[in-house]
Amino acid sequence: MKRLRLAHLPTPLVPLPRIGDELGIDLWVKRDDATGGAESGNKIRKLEYLLAAALEEGADTVITCGGVQSNHARATAVVSASLGMRSVLLLRSTDGSLPVAGNVLLDLLVGADIRVITPDDYRRRHEVMARVSDELRAAGRRPYVIPEGGSNALGSLGYVAAMEEVRQQTDAPFDVVLVACGSGGTAAGIALGAAGAAEELVAVAVCNDEAYFRERIGTIMEDARALDDTLGEPVSWRVEDRFKGPAYGVSTEAQRQSMIWAGRRAGVVLDPVYSGKAFHALVEMSRSGELAGKRVLFVHTGGLPGLLAQSDTFGLNPLGSSDV
Ligand SMILES: *Cc1c(COP(=O)(O)O)cnc(C)c1O
């Protein structure tokens, strides 16, 4: 499969004893928050394959979609600009507003054409993106559509490759990998690529529910195995939906406290939409004994711009104490 080299690889695989010892687990983190600069996070790994296909088709414009603070849309916009392509981002907003902060600021800086769409239209996103694609084609452009989160068979190959990277970075396989799950492609790739690197995957849902992601991840894996016949059976995997919080992009006080703890304890900066929820799941599952004594790999998927767009939800007092 054609692949562009976009990410800074290999990303570091580092132990986190200051957190792991306190939780009673052997904790390691795969620093996929460090795959790049403004384009950083888990989405670049998928874009290495998706944009290779786009260029091969002679595309000059990339269309994709997501929430207002979509990391995927931002990574797509930044990388597209670096490759000389234009990007059209369909961003879901309930009230039509689009605060220029975090990911949106980056989208605008690299010249993305942002179109705000309603949650109803977002439910029909495949149709809406196809319509935009037709419009652009009629105007003489050559569009390439990337689905939500870059999560299809081709995109998931980025995480098959990431697990090959982990295999080369470690002597002993991990007992379990935890990763945030928002559109399923990362989890699908990890499960397909994990043999020899990890025994089991826990995909921590940040929205929807277990049934939804079981179907999504299962379909992406099936399609990926049809696309690449060298892929074998996935390792054992499951979706954990107990820690998704109130809604997509909305966290609980307990989740924010886990994020603050990770930051203060070990300098691990998480985001409230994805990695913070997955990390909170890791904390809770360690405390309940589910992960006790295990060798655990936490995949840090990035999301820093989304964190910076939510500064007011943390209630942190710059003049207050930093005791933890
Ligand atoms: C998109 C994203 C995820 C989830 O990955 P999916 O492949 O969409 O499930 C996790 N963390 C961050 C920071 C993301 O932007």
pLDDT of residue 317: 81
Of the pLDDT bands very low, low, confident and very high (cuts 50, 70, 90), residue 324 is low
- For residue 70, indicate whether it is catalytic: yes
pLDDT of residue 318: 82
Q: Is the CB of 275 under 6 A from ligand 1?
A: yes
Q: What does the pLDDT look like over 175-207, one tens digit per residue?
A: 999 999 999 999 999 999 999 999 999 999 999
Q: Is the CB of 277 under 6 A from ligand 1?
A: no
pLDDT of residue 248: 96
Give the closest residue to 148 by CA, choosing from 171, 121, 169, 167: 121
Contacts of 79 (CB under 8 A, 6+ apart): 6, 39, 44, 47, 51
Of the pLDDT bands very low, low, confident and very high (cuts 50, 70, 90), residue 321 is low
Residue 121 scores a pLDDT above 60 = yes
Residue 323 scores a pLDDT above 90 = no
Can you give the length of the chain in residues?
A: 324
> Ligand 1, closest atom to CA 179?
10
Q: Is the CB of 251 under 6 A from ligand 1?
A: no
321 Cα: distance to centroid of ligand 1 (angstroms) = 32
Residue 84 scores a pLDDT above 90 = yes
pLDDT of residue 237: 98
Q: What does the pLDDT look like over 253-305, one tens digit per residue?
A: 999 999 999 999 999 999 999 999 999 999 999 999 999 999 999 999 999 99
> Ligand 1, closest atom to CA 186?
7
When the pLDDT of each residue in the chain is averaged and rounded to a whole number, the result is 97
- Asked whether 251 and 245 are in contact (CB, 8 A), the reply is yes
Distance in angstroms (rounded) separating the CA atoms of residues 7 and 47: 9
Whole-number percent of the chain with pLDDT over 90: 96
Write the burial class of residue 160 (CB in 10 Å: 0-12 exposed, 13-18 middle, 19+ buried). buried
Q: Is the CB of 183 under 6 A from ligand 1?
A: yes
pLDDT of residue 172: 95
The pLDDT of 237-247, averaged and rounded, is 98
Q: What does the pLDDT look like over 213-233, one tens digit per residue?
A: 999 999 999 999 999 999 999
